[in-house]
Structure 1
Amino acid sequence: MKNFKRSSSWLATLPKNFQGSNPAKPLISAPDELKRKKYDALVVGAGHNGLIAATYLAKKGKKVAVIEKRHMIGGAAVTEELLPGFHFSRASYLMALLRPEIIQELDLVKHGLKWFVREPHAFTPLRDDDRFLLLGSDAKANCDSIAQFSKKDAKIYDQYNNEMEKLADAITHLMTAMPPDERSRLGENIKTGKQMYKMGRELDWDFSLLHKVATAPMSKILDQWFDSEPLKACLATDAVIGAMLSPHTPGSGYVLLHHVMGGVEGHKGAWAYVEGGMGGVSLAIAKALKEAGGDIYTETPVSSINVSNGKANSLTLHDGSIVSASKILANTTPKVTYEHLMSEKDLPSGFLSDIKGIDYTSPVTKLNIAVDKLPSFKCTPHSGNTPGPHHFTTIHMNCESMAEIDRAYMECATTGRPSRNPIIEMTIPSVLDKTLAPEGSHTIGLFTQYSPITFDGKKWTDEQRENYTERLFSVIEDYAPGFKDSVLGVDVLTPQDIEEQIGLTGGNIFHGAMGLDQLFIGRPGYRSPISGLYLCGSGAHPGGGVMGLPGKHAALAALAD
């Protein structure tokens, strides 16, 4: 590690591939096997949803191939060795939303999926105070931590959690239902309606409260519950994470429920690190697919989805060759699927204008950092290589009040520039997963907001990336002095980089913003308006996160047809 000397440029400390190029091998021609075999279904894109869709089809006896343009599978759920010995979940970084029924139905544990449940869950240090907020599954510990700021809040926190969990259960049932669409069979639509009504009666949902939380600004809900700003800000981060929203934005409450509904091993709201990084999720699904008889082809970009007589029936590959199948499933975003891979003449009149109206605005810049020691926070000093409880959590910085989060949002929204005081969520997966970094060293992820896909309307320059990185590190230094000196290397992914390198339109991690107008039937359907073509990525209901439901539902729709 001594070969990587620090300089005034953070990015200059790294080999070229650490800065995100990771070029694939030169593309010569599509694999002969792909052109020779006959398939029932072809899946465009090997993100986790595409792999899941393909596996469900293959397990029903269909001959399926997944076709991926990158040199690796997984889409945003990937692990990359960006520095020798350092393995990073380069884009998505935590598991909680992956549906337990998918894990079970695809035997993902048998195929190598392992995870580490984090406990505690959240840590909010204060910049100029010896106090800090630490939250987890221990009710008494939570009460003691919150009581530093408000004894009243400490007494009612469990009640708040219980109410949110009930609402999250309602959202879970909404998400796992197949939303009706005009091409669904009548029986499917009736079944969905009956299931929702039955579940609502059995679970005694409070629909008025669900509507209130899902549509209100989360700040309004939190202000009605609590007095303590550190507590409200900590909870509010789940209402804005990955979304170009403020806690004061109507509908931010739904984003919180979208995240709270997750859990691991029966622990509501708990998130886990996947062993070996998030690529472990994609690898396990790929193994299940291979066992079921499916094929995967990497470094094989698709140029177009072809339509004949109103039916999608083939793909044109990068070398001009054509492969055919009776079903085409696209794991790409709606914009890429319908605007880039298809001809406008093949789509119904007016449909493309709706697709062009989808909001992909993203506020996220992700950083992957190699360090040679754990950060030591002023409010809870630490030395040595044994992690403290707070190192297992998501660490919130510049999130000490909802007003602070709102200021960061407003600055970006009104100037077209990254916030000068961005909110930061830090995770250190190597404290639980020893496979990720050399002994004594660690991998750190920073999920930061707010930064736009362009800087003053233009592409980000390397200098602007470095300045933003320097600003982030200065913020962390305020909380944890000595952090800068521990840094060995940095990988920076602005929304622009996420779009170009990972393939997410706008850099949006949800394949489309999660505003109220783009949820449930407001998202493009699994069934496209073209017979034989299905959308299996997160652009369809229920949206983003490593959840797997869009892939499963698209496969079920294709099988039903």
Structure 2
Amino acid sequence: MEAGLWLFSASQTVDMAAAAARIDRGRRSVSLLGTGTGCRATHTTPKSRYDALVVGGGHNGLVAAAYLQKGGVKTAVLERRHVLGGAAVTEEIFPGFHFSRCSYLLSLLRPHIIRDLELKKHGLKVYLRDPHAFTPMLEDGVRGAPPRSLILGSDLASNQREIGKFSQKDAKVYPEFTAHLEKLAGAIHPLLDSSPVDIPGVTTGSLKKRLSAAKTLMPILKCGLKLGRNVPDFYEILTAPITKILFRWFESEPLRATLATDGVIGAMTSPSNPGSGYVLLHHVMGELEKEKGVWGYVEGGMGGVSQAMARAARSHGVDIFTEKDVEQILVGSDGSAKGVALKDGTEINSKVVLSNATPYVTFRNLTPQAALSSEFIRAVDQIDYTSPVTKINVAVDKLPNFLALPTPDGKPGPHHQCSIHLNCESVEVLETAYKEATNGRPSTRPMLEMTIPSVLDPTLAPPGCHVVSLFTQFTPYHVEGREWTSQDREAFADTVFDWVEQYAPGFKKSVVGRDILSPPDLERIFGLTGGNIFHGSMSLDQLYLARPLPSLSNYRSPIKGLYLCGSGCHPGGGVMGSPGWNAAVTVMADLKSH
């Protein structure tokens, strides 16, 4: 599929004679030409040689390129699609409606990267959300009152009042729980901004090399010092099911389920599975504008992050190219990377190559198989990319009006800016949805996270209209053992919309277009193996020293000069930038030593 002129082959249902028109409600499925609104390349022809080539213009690739160029390494970025950003991209799917088509929220981007690359100067603007979570109930109100709901934000007193609707005991202990979680999350930060411990260096070689490698132990020591007596608690949250932790703290199901969603979001796991506690920690360890655990909307959509990074990279001299589809990484007779070959036959030479693609794509699709051992290839084949996610982007001509917090005037309330958790009345509902997907069927009552970024960012939709993101779980990669069909996509989207309608009657009539991305669509369009948004599951066997494999935990590959720099590396997924930063530091150290 040509990246420059390709038809959206994911299912799209559109109902519009003109953008934002309140028109006939009959829907029709069409193929619609995609219009990217992310940052485009200014160069058309790469040079024949660079010091470093970055395969893939996702956010980690752009971060790596910017730091390499700052360090004096002449670098070029080669992006397959017509638009930069990878999964952090803004696209105008329907005229006038600009969507964060894949990734949709920002929190984890490391503060030092924002500072070092001067991303605000280069256009990054974030709208902070407060409150941040809204969980409406499906229930009959008492004496004509609306159904109950739970709203959580930065005001602890307000949170306690909200939680008190369901349990006074939970309201009392909630501040202690959040403080406990913040301490555990804060202790991880030294690990995010450095490579994993260099085990071979510490255990083998000369005394000088061992002492040098011993420096890689410092982040672990800092983490331990920050944790102090909380080391056992940290170990527990890494390994335990999130239900074990939440059930010990709380008794009310809506609070348990709302918090549990962050333990399974993007992961094919259940709240009762070991390791789901870490996924929760991963989602609360970010910060924006020095506020911990806060999430926000990027102005112009998530492509705004990638645009700012691309501008920063270019300001230092990085060459960035779109519509340059890499077919193969070139490996010389000495077994080291020599550059890349594009699908149009162009060869570009370089001292090193950094791959922002998933480990599977890097080593099974781009690397000559003869250059890798059969044992290594088998290990790559065993990396878990299972994904539960189907993303649905929706254009609407009016705001959803929730029964739990009605806004009949059509104006947004505080709850409209939140992550809106639907079908989260209890942990049991989440468990049932997960079990259906593991049996090969899309959930009949899926877990839904709805966001409406246009409430805070009016640049995303025509006046009076909005863009809605539905991050849904759980859906399998195959439907009962076969490929997804357009009918499967439409049927699942209909199920999702039917559930939204129960919480917000009139939602279905407001829809003027929808874009449905099942796990295979996320794989095909964005290069996410298995549809996994993290470039590989964030399971205990694929973290830190074992991410993505024990032999690949330090960004170096078995092929000298070939490195990984994407979310498949430590510390993992989310728009964080740490894999790109850590990989660039590793590459520069290696180039300096040679």
**TM-score class, shorter:** over 0.9
Contact kept, 8 Å, 2:151 with 2:415, in 1: the verdict is yes
Q: Given the alignment, which residue of 150, 153, 160 partners 2:177?
A: 160
* Structure 2 counterpart of 1:447: 471
Q: Which residue of 1 aligns with 2:502?
A: 478
Report the Cα distance in structure 1 between the residues aligned to 2:458 and 2:162, rounded to whole angstroms.
29
Q: CA deviation at 1:91?
A: 0.2
Please name the residue that 1:421 is paired with: 445
Q: For residue 539 of structure 1, what is the aligned residue in structure 2? A: 568
* Cα deviation code 1:270-300 (max 9, x no counterpart): 1000000000000000001111001011111
User: Which residue does 1:333 correspond to in 2?
Assistant: 358
Quote how far apart the aligned CAs of 1:38 are: 2.7
SS in 2 for 1:350: helix
Question: Per-residue displacement from partner, 1:399-426 (whole Å, max 9, x unpaired)?
Answer: 1101110000001102x11011100000
Aligned pairs for 1:238-253 within 5 A: 238-253=262-277
* SS of aligned partner of 1:204: helix
3-state SS of paired residue (1:417)? coil
Matches within 5 A, 1:291-306: 291-306=315-330
8 Å contact kept, 2:190–2:222: no
CA contact 1:230–1:401 (8 Å) conserved in 2: yes
1:84 aligns with 2:95: yes
Which whole-Å CA distance do the structure 1 matches of 2:196 and 2:457 have between them?
Answer: 38
Which residue of the partner structure matches residue 27 of structure 1? none
Select the residue among 242, 255, 260 that pairs with 1:218: 242
2:341 to 309, 316, 323: 316
Q: Give TM-score scaled by structure 2 length.
A: 0.90
Distance 1:476 1:222, change over 3 A: same
The offset of 1:201, in angstroms, is: 2.0
- Structure 2, unmatched stretches of 5+, are 1-15, 38-42, 141-146, 202-208
1:94-105 alignment, distance < 5 Å: 94-105=105-116
Q: Where in structure 2 are the equivalents of 1:34-433 lying within 5 Å?
A: 34=46, 36-129=47-140, 130-181=147-198, 186=210, 189-204=213-228, 206-308=230-332, 309-414=334-439, 416-433=440-457
Match of 1:16 among 23, 32, 51: 32
In structure 2, distance between residues paired with 1:302 and 1:162? 47
Task: State whether residues 401 and 410 of structure 2, in contact with CA within 8 Å, keep that contact through their aligned partners in structure 1.
Answer: no
Distance 1:239 1:188, change over 3 A: farther
Q: TM-score, normalized by length of structure 1? A: 0.95
Deviation at 1:386, TM superposition (A): 2.1
Alpha-carbon separation, structure 1, partners of 2:360 and 2:160: 46
Matches of 2:26 and 2:354, distance apart in 1 = 47
Shift of 1:206: 1.0
Tell me the SS of whatever aligns to 1:481: coil
Structure 1's 248 and 442: CA in aligned 2 closer, same or farther, altered over 3 A? Answer: same
> Equivalent residue for 1:464?
488
C-alpha distance in 1, partners of 2:227/2:274? 26
Distance 1:538 1:501 in 2: 17
Change (3 A) 1:498 1:102: same
Q: Is contact 1:54–1:294 with CA below 8 Å preserved after alignment?
A: yes
Stretch moving more, 284-293 or 377-386: 377-386
Cα separation, 2, equivalents of 1:102 and 1:83: 33
SS in 2 for 1:407: helix
Aligned-partner residue type, residue 430 of structure 2? I
Structure 2: how far apart are the matches of 1:195 and 1:40? 30
Deviation string 1:6-33 (CA, Å, 9 cap, x unpaired) is 5564x62x6623xxx6699xxxxxx873
Q: Which residue number in structure 1 is paired with residue 517 of structure 2?
A: 493
Alignment of 1:542-561 (within 5 A): 542-561=571-590
Give me the whole-angstrom Cα distance separating, in 1, the residues matched to 2:558 and 2:398: 54
The alignment partner of 2:339 has SS state of strand
Partner residue, 1:529: 558
In the TM superposition, residue 307 of structure 1 has moved relative to its aligned partner by 1.2
The 1-side partners of 2:199 and 2:559 are apart by 12
Question: Which residue of structure 2 aligns with residue 507 of structure 1?
Answer: 531
CA–CA distance in structure 2, aligned partners of residues 342 and 59 of structure 1: 28
Once the two structures are TM-superposed, the CA of residue 427 in structure 1 deviates from its matched residue by 0.1
In structure 2, relative to structure 1, the CA distance for the partners of 1:6 and 1:331 (3 Å cut) is farther
What SS does the corresponding residue of 1:133 show, helix, strand or coil? strand
* Counterpart position of 1:518: 542
Secondary structure (helix, strand or coil) at the match of 1:435 reads helix
**Farther off after superposition, 196-205 or 397-406:** 196-205
Quickly say closer, same or farther: Cα 1:258–1:32, change in 2 above 3 A: closer
